[in-house]
Structure 1
Amino acid sequence: MTILHVSAVKSWGGGENHIETLCYELKQSNPEIKNIVLCVENTLFHERLNETEIEFQTAPLAYNLDLRFSFKIIALCKNKKVDLIHIHDPSAIALTIIADKFASLPPFIFSKKTSFPIKNKKLTLYKYNYYKIKKYLCVSEETRRVTVESIKVKDKVITVYQGTSITNKSSETDFLLRKKFDIDESKKIVGLIGNHIRAKNLETFIETVNIIVNIKKRTDIIFVQIGSFTDRTEDLIAKVHELKLENFIHFIGYIPKASNFIPQFDALLMTSQSEGIPEVIFESFYHKKPVISTNVGGIPEILQDGINGLLTKKQDSAMLSEKIIHLFNNKELAEKFVTISYEKLITNFTASVMAQKTLKEYKNILNGN
């Protein structure tokens, strides 16, 4: 079986990490499955794949519907004798459909990784309901609930939780956070990993730190944020300066293998206003670090408030600040949370479980089920 994974994303994030993890796990468990990734040339994903043993090809994507990308899909399907195309983002759906109009391609399977509703527009609905998409793999029940509203054949939409690999974890980093930012051992480090995009809502992150530092006068907690800078970054940094939080918030930018820094955190913070299920939470489960998060997307399906983590509603910086302080004021909470979370991870949310469930769907499609 040969699977072509198509990604038209130009950055590096959880969706691209999902592709890498899936290909890695299938290579380990089922070497008879050949996985080929098609990504956009000269992007962070391209750069990352260069460092792996995953087979990949690249194509230019100068604009949204660049036909060169579609023609590369056709060529790969022909030359590599592709059996199934696994599409990993909305832009890739359109490019693959265009390719199918020029050449009869194998069947498609699509991974829905966010809880954004599908827009009720004619062309968008046509794209998502294209007849060659045989299954929709949603990363959470919430994502499935949102997706099924726009899909005509409801039983095509299923949940396959994203998972994290437990066989290739590392804590190796190019530098130590405490040394780089001169953080005393008596202070706590709260980490937030995510690109500077609207969904991650870093404005709420900054306001949360403002409440902790400037209103509650807690100067013993330092915040480190890792993720690609965007056109939103300038305003975020300006806000940090305006609130005089330069000594408490450190924006690092994009770092390969950012999750390797998690062992240096005392807790992980998520301030997102929209998510599927962030793999960074599973990474924190593995490294036994407590998680404080907003209750968006599929996050409440893996993190229960007061049971194995702390949750608030989105955009509630006041409550987020309360939860962070509550965690560090009650040491036994963190110990309880990480024990339960680790067990949940090993039982339900490993990359191995995800890969085998995904492979089952590949086989179902190719067997006509």
Structure 2
Amino acid sequence: MTILHISAVKSWGGGENHIENLCFELAASNPEVKNVVLCVKDELFHQRLSKTNITTETAPLAINLDVRFVLKIIKLSKKYKADIIHLHDPSAIVLAIIADKFASLPPFVFSKKTSFPIKNKKGTLYKYNYSKIKKYLCVSEETKRITAASIIDKEKLVTIYHGTNISTKNTQTPFLLREKFTVDPSVKIIGIIGNHIRAKHFETLIEVVNEIVNEQKRTDFFFVQIGTFTDRTENLLKMVAALELENHICFLGFTPHASNFIPQFDALLITSQSEGLPLVIYESFYHCKPVISTNVGGISEIITDGVNGLLAPVYDFKKVSEKIFYLFENEELIPKFTAISREKLITNYTSTIMAKKTLELYKSVIYGNEQKKSTRHFN
């Protein structure tokens, strides 16, 4: 079996980590499955893959519908005799559809990794309901629920939770956070990992820091945010400066292997307004670090408030601040939360489990009725 994975994303994030983990796990457990990844030439994902043994092909993507990328899809599908094309982002769908118009491509599966509703526009609905898409791999039940509103054949929707690769964990970092920022041992480091995109809503993060520092007059917390800068970054930095929070929050920008810093956090914080199910939560589960998050997307499917983490309403910076205070005023909860979380991870959310379920789905698409096992309910 040969799978051609297509990513038209130029950054590095959870979605790209998912592709990497999936390829690693399938290579280890089912070496007869060949994975080929087509990504954007010279961008962060390409740079990351170039340091692995994953079969990687690239093409330029100067504009959204770059014909060179389309032609490369056709070429690679023939070259590797792909059995399935696995599409990993909305742009990849469009590029694959155009390629399919010029060459009869194998069936598609699409990973829906966000909980954004699909826009109710004719072109968008056509794209997402394209006949060659045989399965939609939703990252959470909430993502599946939201996606179902726009998909005609709802039998194609499947939930397969992503997972973290527990065999490749590394805690090496180029520096120690406490040393680099001269953080006193009595100060708690709150870590935030994510690229500067709208979904992450780091405006809420800054409001949380402002509430804690300027309103509650607490200086026993230091916030470290790791993730790729975008066109949103300038306004975020201006907001920090206007509130005089420069000594209380640091934006590190893109940092390779960001999850390696998690053991240096006292807690992970998520202030997103929209999520599928962020992989960084699984990473925190592995490293036994408590998670405080806004209750969006599929997060409540793996974190129960007050049982193995803390959840707050979206945009509610005051409630998020209260959750931070509550956690560190009741530190006996931390080992309880993290023990439950790590057990959930090992039992349900490793990349090994994710790869096994994904392979079953691939087989169901290729062999159809020859597969006796139902692939409709994996989770």
The residue aligned with 2:187 is: 187
1:118-157 alignment, distance < 5 Å: 118-157=118-157
Amino acid at match of 1:91: S
The residue aligned with 2:26 is: 26
The residue aligned with 2:328 is: 328
CA distance in 2, matches of 1:179, 1:236: 25
Question: Is residue 68 of structure 1 aligned with residue 36 of structure 2?
Answer: no
1:64-213 alignment, distance < 5 Å: 64-213=64-213
Q: Give deviations 1:21-78, integer Å, cap 9, x for gaps.
A: 1111111111111000000111110111111111110001111111110100000011
CA distance in 2, matches of 1:13, 1:168: 17
The residue aligned with 1:47 is: 47
Instruction: Give the CA deviation at 1:238.
Output: 1.1
The residue aligned with 1:250 is: 250
Aligned residues: 369
Amino acid at match of 1:39: C
CA distance in 1, matches of 2:82, 2:232: 39
CA distance in 2, matches of 1:240, 1:121: 37
Instruction: Give the CA deviation at 1:225.
Output: 0.1
CA distance in 1, matches of 2:358, 2:223: 36
CA distance in 1, matches of 2:210, 2:223: 11
Which runs of 5 or more structure 1 residues have no equivalent in the other structure? none
CA distance in 1, matches of 2:285, 2:86: 28
Give the TM-score of the pair, scaled to structure 2. 0.97
CA distance in 1, matches of 2:185, 2:268: 18
1:218-297 alignment, distance < 5 Å: 218-297=218-297
What secondary structure sits across from 1:331 in the alignment? Answer: coil
Instruction: Give the CA deviation at 1:203.
Output: 0.3
CA distance in 2, matches of 1:41, 1:236: 29
CA distance in 2, matches of 1:236, 1:208: 13
Q: Give deviations 1:170-203, integer Å, cap 9, x for gaps.
A: 1011111011111111111000000111100000
Q: Give deviations 1:291-327, integer Å, cap 9, x for gaps.
A: 0000000000001100000001100000000000111
CA distance in 2, matches of 1:314, 1:62: 35
CA distance in 2, matches of 1:51, 1:225: 25
1:296-315 alignment, distance < 5 Å: 296-315=296-315
Instruction: Give the CA deviation at 1:161.
Output: 0.5
Give the TM-score of the pair, scaled to structure 1. 0.99
Q: Give deviations 1:76-131, integer Å, cap 9, x for gaps.
A: 01111111100000000000000000000011000000000111111111111111
Amino acid at match of 2:198: R
RMSD, matched Cα: 0.6
Instruction: Give the CA deviation at 1:215.
Output: 1.1
What secondary structure sits across from 1:222 in the alignment? Answer: strand
CA distance in 2, matches of 1:343, 1:81: 40
CA distance in 1, matches of 2:119, 2:239: 32
Which runs of 5 or more structure 2 residues have no equivalent in the other structure? 370-379
Question: Is residue 366 of structure 1 aligned with residue 366 of structure 2?
Answer: yes
What secondary structure sits across from 1:163 in the alignment? Answer: coil
CA distance in 2, matches of 1:262, 1:367: 42
CA distance in 1, matches of 2:112, 2:51: 26
Amino acid at match of 2:300: P
